[in-house]
């Protein structure tokens, strides 16, 4: 059943023009970032939008040591 759903999704997605596929992907990424942001605020409390942006980035890309280091430097320079 899941394969049937995935194939149907792929067919619909493949029929879209490239700009609509990119827009759909960007919207999904935005939705994921908002969901991560809500989770971080629930866990850590309110923070500035700039700080939240970097905390979200850390959650998304922190598995890579270089990315973690760069993002952590940005976090260290923004106010809570």
Q: What's the pLDDT tens digit per position in 33-53?
A: 999 999 999 999 999 999 999
The per-residue DSSP string of 44-67 comes to H----HHHHHHHHHHHHHTTSHHH
Average of pLDDT values for 47-61? Answer: 96
Which residues, other chains included, contact 78 with Cβ-Cβ below 8 Å and sequence gap of 6+? 48, 50, 51, 54
Average of pLDDT values for 54-59? Answer: 97
Pick 9 or 62 by higher pLDDT: 62
Instruction: Supply the pTM of this predicted model.
Output: 0.78
pLDDT at 80 over 70: no
């Amino acid at each position: 059943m899941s394969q049937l759903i995935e194939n149907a999704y792929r067919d619909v997605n493949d029929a879209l023009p490239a700009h609509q596929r990119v827009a759909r992907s960007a919207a999904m990424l935005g939705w994921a970032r908002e969901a991560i942001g809500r989770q971080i605020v629930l866990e850590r409390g309110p923070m500035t939008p700039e700080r939240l942006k970097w905390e979200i980035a850390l959650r998304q890309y922190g598995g890579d040591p270089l990315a973690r280091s760069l993002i952590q430097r940005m976090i260290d320079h923004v106010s809570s």
